[in-house]
Structure 1
Amino acid sequence: MKKILLILMAMILSTGILQAAPGAPPVEYEKGVVVFVGPLDQSMQKQYQMAKGELVSIQLTSGPEAGKVVDTFNFVSERSAYEIRVKTGDKVIVAVSHDLGKISYHVSDFDRFDYVYILSGLFVLVLVVFGGFIGAKSVLVIAFSMVVIFKFFIGQVLASQYSLTLLTLVVSAVIAIATQIVVSGLSKKSLAAVLGTIGGVAVAGLLSMLSVKLMHLTGLDSEEAMLLKASVLSYIDFQGVLFAGMVFGALGAVMDVTISIASAVYEVRSVHPSISFKELVQAGMNVGRDIMGTMSNTLILAYAGSSLPLMLLIASQQNAPMLKILNLNLIVTEIARALTGSIGLICAIPLTAIITATLLKRD
């Protein structure tokens, strides 16, 4: 779900124009820097008599009016979670509206994406510096995964031409194959990791499908999903989107586990060429058991971290009936998401150990 919002946001930022509701004045979005924050001038005091706020002067840094300093009223109630409190030097997104020949400017949000570029650059630098050639290849597979999801998968979801279940599994298989082959090369080790990943993701996918059906999960477990359902994407199968989110959430962890198991079994076979099939499987399982607890905990903690506000909400409702709270669609969705991924990850361990031992013993 968040991926859909991200691609929509990228489309908005690339065009600079957000589609307004029918009949509403057109709105453009430009970048700016706050140069002054202070009390309202006399004209604004007359215009906004009953509202609390402040005068904000912004120098536009993009668009046809770049360099121009504009004044705007910034509403401040000190009670709303959605108000934007700015100070001099802040980078902001300015909504520029045209209504009856009059241009008005409003602070729409903070301009945060420059810092995203900095973090992304730091991430790539750390990967390459400490990972060397393998780190550089990791950057390539990450970029490939993002392109496949954002350009292909999201496009197909919006087009609604194919089954989301089939589409999700195909995309997962493509990402798994590309990742393992690019990082580890063409080898039996990579083949075993790919097959183990596909098996683990298939288990997670099957459980996710059953969870969505048997638990009557709607996929409308967030404000964003409900907003999309009520407005621009009412035709989308949000249960299918929920299924895709569960599978993609488990995919990365499963790939990590499978290549670790396949590499361990491969190294044992290299050191002891005469080792038996059973001993190879046992070696893979021994490594897998060590990985199992930490990786499952990683998935649970990742979902718990993203659901921290939800957990705080539950903890604060001391007098609310737990029977009702624990059966909420939002709660059960997060639990199912974490557990299905963890089960798929655990099942990938024996699958990968058996497949790797089989491929190596055929030598």
Structure 2
Amino acid sequence: MNILFVLAAILLLLMCMIGGKKGARSFFALFLNFGVFLITILFMTNTRIDPYIITLSACAVISYINLFFINEVNSTTKAAFLSSIITIVLLLLFIVLVTENTMIQGFGKEEIEELSVFSLYIGVDFVKIGASVIILSTIGAIIDTAMAISSPMREMFLHHPTINKKELFTFGINIGKDILGTSTNTLFFAFFGGYLALLIWFKDLSYSFGEILNSKIFSAEMITILCAGTGVALIIPITSVITAYFLVNTREKEKIN
């Protein structure tokens, strides 16, 4: 337990030294997000509430914490928040279709032995839980991408106040092109880093390449990565459009007044 406090203190010190007050808020936001996840899990066991509603509510709260609590309320965070919510809703509709057709919900045969002593009749729709897991795994990448596009667009607008919507939108898209590859690679390597033990286990079990691809555990994680990459790609034009519209319209309203 002592090492956890030491590492947390080191992280807090570095974040405060580099980020100042914003770094400190970012540190405490980690615990707030953790609390949101715990509350989400608690409500997921309540069969009277739809998991999709719980998931969307959790994503909205997480977006609020990571955007408004850390970076305060401004034109950048407003555009990023709205873009994130729209993307999450669209992505949820897509993920529901994918989850229902691929049937990745539930547990794979590799996990049955460990779970055999537990009852799986808990009254929860595992299809909805599977879709919710993918969404919650994606929200972080979506928020980061939205902020990474909205913030430079605002800087461009401040330095070039006469820029029009089309030029500002193109600027946002160009930024998105630069970060799209790195964002998707981050998701990809996060999977292989987190599931390296699983891949080694597959090797010890002498799984063929086809058996690995058809394994429910592997397929579920790969679908999560692909859906997360879809969300990252989708957030780029949405954020560019909303930010450009918001900034230019605000300028025009100020001219009228």
In the TM superposition, what whole-angstrom CA distance separates every residue of 1:93-145 from its partner, at most 9, and x where no partner exists?
xxxxxxxxxxxxxxxxxxxx433333222222221121111101112322221
The residue number in structure 2 matching 1:176 is 63
| Residues 1:271 and 2:179 aligned together | no
Trace 1:1-363 onto structure 2 (pairs within 5 A).
Answer: 113-150=1-38, 152-221=39-108, 223=111, 227=115, 230-231=118-119, 234-315=122-203, 320-363=207-250
RMSD: 2.3
Shift in alpha-carbon separation, 1:119–1:178, aligned structure 2, 3 A = same
Q: Give 3-state SS (helix, strand or coil) of 1:161's partner.
A: coil
Q: Distance in 1 between matches of 2:117 and 2:96?
A: 21
Once the 2 structures are TM-superposed, how far is the Cα of residue 321 of structure 1 from its aligned partner? 4.8
Distance 1:124 1:224, change over 3 A: farther
Residues 233 and 149 from structure 1, CA distance in 2 versus in 1: closer, same or farther, beyond 3 angstroms? Answer: farther
Q: Distance in 2 between matches of 1:229 and 1:187?
A: 52
Measure the CA separation in 2 of the matches of 1:140 and 1:225.
39
**Runs (5+) with no aligned partner, structure 2:** 251-257
Q: Deviations over 1:235-270 (max 9, x none)?
A: 333333322221111111111111111111101110
Bigger drift between 275-284 and 233-242 goes to 233-242
Shift of 1:200: 2.7
Paired residues, what number? 249
CA distance in 1, matches of 2:154, 2:86: 19
The higher radius of gyration belongs to 1
* Deviation for aligned residue 1:316: 5.1
Query: Given residue 208 of structure 1, which amino acid in structure 2 is its aligned partner?
Result: I
The code of the aligned residue for 1:207 comes to F
**SS of equivalent to 1:274:** coil
1:167-196 CA deviation, whole Å, 9 max, x = no partner?
Answer: 101110121023211222222211110012
Q: Distance in 1 between matches of 2:23 and 2:62?
A: 17
- Spell out structure 1 runs of 4+ moving beyond 4 A: 315-318
Check the 8 A contact 2:165/2:244 in 1, yes or no. Answer: yes
Structure 1 residue 224: Cα displacement: 8.8
Opposite residue 154 of structure 2, the aligned amino acid is Y
TM-score by length of 1: 0.63
Q: What amino acid does structure 2 have at the position aligned with 1:142?
A: L
Is contact 1:280–1:357 with CA below 8 Å preserved after alignment?
yes
Q: 1:228 to 1:132 in 2, by over 3 A?
A: farther
Q: Is the 8 A contact 2:105 2:126 kept in 1?
A: yes
Within 2, Cα distance between the matches of 1:228 and 1:279? 59
Unaligned runs of 5+ in 1: 1-112
1:304-328 CA-to-partner distances (Å, cap 9, x unmatched) read 211112223444566x554443222
Q: Which deviates further from its counterpart, 291-300 or 225-234?
A: 225-234
Task: Name the SS of the counterpart of 1:218 in structure 2.
Answer: coil
Q: Aligned partners of 1:148 and 1:191: how far apart in 2?
A: 21
Residue 322 and residue 244 in structure 1: after superposition, are their counterparts in 2 closer, same or farther (change >3 A)?
same
Residue type of the partner of 2:11? F
- Counterpart Cα distance in 1 of 2:29 and 2:197: 32
> Structure 1's 225 and 351: CA in aligned 2 closer, same or farther, altered over 3 A?
farther
Amino acid at match of 1:153: T
- Contact 1:262–1:284, Cα closer than 8 Å, also in 2: yes
- Separation of aligned partners in 2, 1:160 and 1:224: 24
Contact (CA 8 Å) 1:277, 1:358: kept in 2 or not?
Answer: yes
